[in-house]
Amino acid sequence: MKPLDPADAPARSGELLTEIIGRHGSAGDMVRTMAHSPALLQGYLDLSRAMKRVKLPRALTERISLAVQEWIGCAACLAAHTEAGRAAGLSDTDIALARQGTATDAREAALIGFAVRVLAEPASISQEDVADLRAHGWDDRAVADVVGLVVLNQLTGSFNLVAGISGPDAHR
């Protein structure tokens, strides 16, 4: 799929791209390619903005994103979240463990493992699994936030793979 410029996009997508470019100076290939569907682009932008307000620490959200993107197999997303993880203070070991779906901290490992299960086998999740997260000190907001982060990562990773987007700057 081909990234679109605002002038070549459907009207609503063109407006959204123009706003993004006005604020950030550019729009990444993923966003410009999502512009083929105004509904998808609007939905992605709204969900992405909303998920920036999660209660979880940024380093942990990047760990979750790395675990999910490793499972999905989106190289562009892995590159973007590796860079973002480093900016959030993650070490190479933290990044490697996150890509394996775990962490050295048992509390964080429980949440990261849960995120992978939300992606890979959501029907298997039980109330006991949620109770286990609560026993690790996570509240219902954190559980809900993880589902949102997984969905956002599934959207971006799947879209990039379908569209053939592979560059490290795809998300920008």
CA distances from 94 to 42, 66, 99, 102 (A): 33, 10, 9, 9
Mean pLDDT value of segment 67-96: 97
Look at residue 122 and tell me if it is in a domain: yes
Task: Among 16, 34, 51, identify where a domain stops.
Answer: 51
> Phi and psi for 65 in degrees, rounded to 5?
-60, -40
Look at residue 152 and tell me if it is in a domain: yes
% of the chain surpassing 70 pLDDT: 97
Phi and psi based region of residue 4 (left: phi greater than 0; alpha: psi -120 to 50; beta: remaining): beta
Assess whether 117 and 140 both reside in one domain: yes
Assess whether 156 and 136 both reside in one domain: yes
What's the rounded Cα separation, in Å, for the pair 59 and 90? Answer: 7
pTM above 0.85, yes or no: yes
The CATH number of residue 91's host domain is: 1.20.1290.10
Look at residue 94 and tell me if it is in a domain: yes
What's the rounded Cα separation, in Å, for the pair 65 and 54? Answer: 13
Please say if the pLDDT value at position 169 is more than 90.
no
Q: Which of 103, 124, 114, 172 is nearest to 148 (CA)?
A: 114
Domain of residue 155: give its range: 58-163
Q: How many domains does the chain have?
A: 2
Look at residue 171 and tell me if it is in a domain: no
